[in-house]
Chains A and B, each alone.
Chain A
Amino acid sequence: MIRATVYLLLGFLLPALAQGSLTLYTSEILADVNALVEAFRRQNPGVGVQVFRSGTGEVVAKLRAELEAGNPQPDLLWFANEDFLKELAAKGLLRRVPPTVPGYPVQLAYQGGLYYEVRLLYNAIVVNTQRVPEPPSSWRDLLRPAYRGLLGMPDPNFSGAALATVGTLAQRLGFGYFEALKAQGLRIEQSNPVLQQKLARGEYGVAITTDFGARQEIAKGAPLRVVYPRDGAILVPTPVAVPTWSRNPQLALSFLRFLLSPEAQRLFAERGYYPVLPEAPRPAGAPAQVLGIRATFADPGLLAQFNALFGLRR
């Protein structure tokens, strides 16, 4: 009993004291980041990895608050808010660690490798095949009467991917597109995973959401289908970066290298993402090539307009 208590207490204290400990702030899906962390720890026994995981909005908010208090915690950043990374880069707070793996597509390393992609995800149209027999094939198709009242998308205040949807589609099709979607009965859910659960259970028929998450549910038997719009799916930048304040930069670098290793790239494909390295496997049931358009994130003004339109509170 006493021994058990001591072990428990040690378990409580050690994570704070351990030297070989890495703190990751990410918007990566919980189950996915767990799989990666476990694989990393198998290769690096004794290393502790602390993860703060939430929607991009919350992750950025937490980091901003910590920066303001002068006590930032993460050794590694990984979320869907490129503008915030640009802001950090401009202040010289990011460490340049270019991806040196042979075959890495240079266009995915931004600002000369200050931050870069380790796998790709797209915002696409996902349909519940039981509720929608004839899927749309372009973004404009969502305005067809057949989809009225069946539409959903995640909250751009919470989800970085949704912030990319708002920015990109407003730029390409005009903000009127979202006004038309609102008239079509488009509803907003908090996050991509929650939206996908509801879509898979038939609460929605069509959703603007991430492709990999839908593929994960399809693997579990969900009646979903991913449609990449013929006018271009939205490639959502979710780069990884090492901040200069990291107390454990070596560990952060080795985690970065791990993310580009064959094992991690295979894990990404297994979980429905497109790996960045050419020799890595493709995700099951996905086309070999996707016509992607690089996302523009909505700026605060556009977001406020969107919030007003849908009555979202932030």
Chain B
Amino acid sequence: MDRHLAQLALGALLALPLLHLLARGTPLLPGTLRDLDVVGASLVLAGAGTLLALGMGLGLAVAAVWGRVGGFWESLLLLGYLVPPFVTGMGVLFSFQAFGIAIQGVPGILLAWTLHYTPLAYLLLKPQVRLALGLLTAARVHGVTGARGLGVVLPPLLPALAVAGGGLYLALLGNFGVPAVLGTPAGVYVLPTLAYTRLMSPFATDPLGQAAALGIWLTLLALPAVLLARPGILEARETPLPPGGGPYRLVYGLYALLALALILLGLLREALQNPYTGAFQPAFAQALALPLVQAGLRNSLLLALLTVGLLLALALALRPFPQVLRRIRSLLDLYYLLPGTLLGLGLILLLAPTPLYGTPWILLLAYLLNFAALALRALEGGPRVEGAVAVGRVHGLPPWRSWWRLGYPLLWPSAFAGAFLILPLAFSEITLSALLYAPGSETVGVAVLSALNGGLYREGAALGLVLMGISALGLLGRPRW
């Protein structure tokens, strides 16, 4: 009973920003009727992007399984997902500009989303694809041919497709960076960018309330997927497969290279070359000399390190109590799954009257809430160490020493993997920081957006490349996916 009460209290506390948002936005909901086109655009764009990424991810997963692709090529593909989405957006923008094509608007957004989220779809689908294709091989041996093969492949694949699709839809719905870079300048809005615009509008009578009302629409669009969302099934047994085929490997490799080239070419050209004279003039030094960028790099590094350190400490402290860990994680899942715009607006509403507002600490709080589920999951899914701890207990160690000497050392790899997963994400965060930053607490994501909006294209591109390099660090901590 007590435990339930505590869980309820914690849940209510965690939901406070969201409840605040709902309360503030509801009276202004009628005023958002003129924005129904943006609600529709958000839904259609996120849906279309999800289908595109799922289709590409599925194709790549099949190619990977049949072509026995792994190691280097897989890392190359995954790099696309580790690059912050708004950097992918910039890369697409500049690459097409190099060919004289203005890709801003719907095509640009969909292309950048597909490039960014296909690796995620691939990761989520590959284990089930391997299972399904193994079954297909077995069925072929037993004489199943042609379209009847679908009857073998679909049952194990459909749940995975639904889960991956739900996760992708949520990610796309809440994505701020790509539509901010490729949509807003062309007058194409989705809910997160429109909410930001309302918040920043000098002519809005009640900027916060109007943004909160849009947040309600965002919640409504996200809710079905949140209710359906389940952690992907990432463990599957190896199944017998036909011998690997060269063509599949070729297709896979070509996609990975093309995707990376589409992002990199434009960024490199813009960052390295004077666009008017064609002279080789790298813009890195200029970019890094901007005080805004220096502050952004410093703040982002600190925020990311603090976030990772605090969250992993929390996860490790909770690990001896798996029930509690699971419960808290399932509460915090909400802030990982729901669009960051909602958390950002909720925190503004909740904390604007407090001294916390306008300081870096509000950003830290937002990051902690946003990334907590990831950190807790990293340890929740780690090796089962209870046996080792029990052995220590049997040999007379007190509980905490038994954990310290036997349990935690076995968990370091999981913690390490979690740290490398969260660090790049937190470092190049943009949705929350664009809403919550104040002068002096700019993040590097805010600095890049400012550079782009201020016409410093070349400096923005140079920073994008720097962020890409830092994101590639995430590959170091890559567990066996």
Query: Could you say which residues of chain B place their CB within 8 Å of the CB of A288?
Result: none
Q: Is the CB of A58 within 8 A of B202?
A: yes
The A-B contact count (CB < 8 A) is 127
Q: Is the CB of A190 within 8 A of B204?
A: no
Task: Give CA–CA (A57, B196) in the complex, Å.
Answer: 13
User: Distance (Å) between the CB of A289 and the closest chain B CB?
Assistant: 28
A148 at the interface (CB under 8 A from B): no
Query: Could you say which residues of chain B place their CB within 8 Å of the CB of A51?
Result: 291-292, 439
Q: Is the CB of B302 within 8 A of A221?
A: no
Q: Is the CB of B450 within 8 A of A30?
A: yes
Q: Which of A62-70, A96-104, A225-233, A244-252 contacts B (4 or more CB under 8 A)?
A: A62-70
Q: Is the CB of A313 within 8 A of B197?
A: yes
List which A192-223 residues lie within 8 A (CB) of chain B.
192-194, 196-197, 200-201, 203, 213, 217, 220-223
Query: Could you say which residues of chain B place their CB within 8 Å of the CB of A12?
Result: 298-299, 302, 360
Q: Is the CB of B203 within 8 A of A71?
A: no
Residue from the list A52, A60, A61, A217 in contact with B439, Cβ < 8 A: A52
B358 at the interface (CB under 8 A from A): yes
A123 at the interface (CB under 8 A from B): no
If the complex has contacts A51-B439, A52-B439, A314-B197, are A30 and B184 also in contact, measured as CB distance less than 8 A? no
Most buried by B among A192, A194, A203: A194
Residue from the list A16, A192, A217, A314 in contact with B201, Cβ < 8 A: A314
A133 at the interface (CB under 8 A from B): no
A2 at the interface (CB under 8 A from B): no
User: Distance (Å) between the CB of B207 and the closest chain A CB?
Assistant: 6
Q: Per-residue 0/1 for B418-457: is the Cβ within 8 Å of any A Cβ (1 yes, 0 no)?
A: 0000000000000000000011100000000011111111
A176 at the interface (CB under 8 A from B): no
B398 at the interface (CB under 8 A from A): no
B72 at the interface (CB under 8 A from A): no
Query: Could you say which residues of chain B place their CB within 8 Å of the CB of A193?
Result: 453-456
Query: Could you say which residues of chain A place their CB within 8 Å of the CB of B290?
Result: 30-31, 34
List which A23-71 residues lie within 8 A (CB) of chain B.
23, 25, 29-31, 34, 37-38, 50-58, 60-62, 64-65, 69, 71
Task: Give CA–CA (A64, B200) in the complex, Å.
Answer: 10
Q: Is the CB of A197 within 8 A of B457?
A: yes
List which B341-382 residues lie within 8 A (CB) of chain A.
352-353, 357-360
A303 at the interface (CB under 8 A from B): yes
Query: Could you say which residues of chain B place their CB within 8 Å of the CB of A30?
Result: 290, 292, 450-451, 454, 456
Residue from the list B203, B204, B353, B440 in contact with A15, Cβ < 8 A: B440
Query: Could you say which residues of chain B place their CB within 8 Å of the CB of A81?
Result: 202
B159 at the interface (CB under 8 A from A): no
If the complex has contacts A8-B298, A51-B439, A222-B276, are A61 and B204 also in contact, measured as CB distance less than 8 A? yes
Q: Is the CB of B203 within 8 A of A314?
A: yes
B187 at the interface (CB under 8 A from A): yes
Query: Could you say which residues of chain A place their CB within 8 Å of the CB of B204?
Result: 61, 314
B226 at the interface (CB under 8 A from A): no
Q: Which residue of A lies closest to B275 (CB)?
A: A201
Residue from the list A62, A194, A221 in contact with B453, Cβ < 8 A: A194
Q: Is the CB of B357 within 8 A of A71?
A: yes
Most buried by A among B292, B359, B454: B454
Q: Is the CB of B184 within 8 A of A221?
A: no
A157 at the interface (CB under 8 A from B): yes
If the complex has contacts A8-B301, A34-B290, A57-B202, are A194 and B187 also in contact, measured as CB distance less than 8 A? no
Query: Could you say which residues of chain B place their CB within 8 Å of the CB of A220?
Result: 274, 276
B102 at the interface (CB under 8 A from A): yes
B208 at the interface (CB under 8 A from A): yes
If the complex has contacts A50-B439, A51-B439, A69-B353, are A61 and B457 also in contact, measured as CB distance less than 8 A? no
Q: Which residue of B lies closest to A49 (CB)?
A: B291
Q: Per-residue 0/1 for B268-306: is the Cβ within 8 Å of any A Cβ (1 yes, 0 no)?
A: 000000111100000000000011100000110110010
Q: Is the CB of A31 within 8 A of B456?
A: yes
Residue from the list A9, A73, A188 in contact with B438, Cβ < 8 A: A73
Task: Give CA–CA (A64, B206) in the complex, Å.
Answer: 10
User: Distance (Å) between the CB of A3 and the closest chain B CB?
Assistant: 15
B335 at the interface (CB under 8 A from A): no
If the complex has contacts A191-B454, A193-B456, A196-B455, are A11 and B298 also in contact, measured as CB distance less than 8 A? yes
If the complex has contacts A11-B298, A57-B200, are A213 and B439 also in contact, measured as CB distance less than 8 A? no
Q: Is the CB of B203 within 8 A of A34?
A: no
Query: Could you say which residues of chain A place their CB within 8 Å of the CB of B399?
Result: none
A312 at the interface (CB under 8 A from B): yes
Q: Is the CB of A57 within 8 A of B360?
A: no
A300 at the interface (CB under 8 A from B): yes
Q: Is the CB of A73 within 8 A of B439?
A: yes
If the complex has contacts A193-B454, A221-B274, A313-B197, are A73 and B302 also in contact, measured as CB distance less than 8 A? no
Residue from the list B208, B302, B357, B454 in contact with A29, Cβ < 8 A: B454
List which B438-478 residues lie within 8 A (CB) of chain A.
438-440, 450-457
If the complex has contacts A58-B202, A189-B185, A221-B277, are A16 and B359 also in contact, measured as CB distance less than 8 A? yes
Pairs of residues from A and B, 6 with the lowest C-beta to C-beta distance, nearest first = A193-B455, A221-B276, A50-B439, A30-B454, A52-B439, A61-B202
Which residues in B have some Cβ–Cβ distance to A below 8 Å? 38, 97, 102, 184-185, 187, 189, 194, 197, 199-204, 207-208, 274-277, 290-292, 298-299, 301-302, 305, 352-353, 357-360, 438-440, 450-457
Inter-chain pairs besides A34-B291, A194-B185, 7 sampled, C-beta below 8 Å: A29-B455, A30-B290, A31-B454, A34-B290, A54-B453, A189-B185, A313-B189
A to B CB contacts below 8 Å, 29 in the list: A8-B302, A12-B302, A16-B359, A29-B455, A30-B290, A31-B456, A34-B292, A51-B439, A53-B292, A54-B200, A55-B453, A56-B202, A57-B201, A57-B202, A61-B202, A190-B184, A190-B453, A191-B455, A193-B455, A194-B452, A194-B453, A196-B455, A201-B97, A201-B275, A220-B274, A300-B203, A312-B187, A313-B194, A314-B204
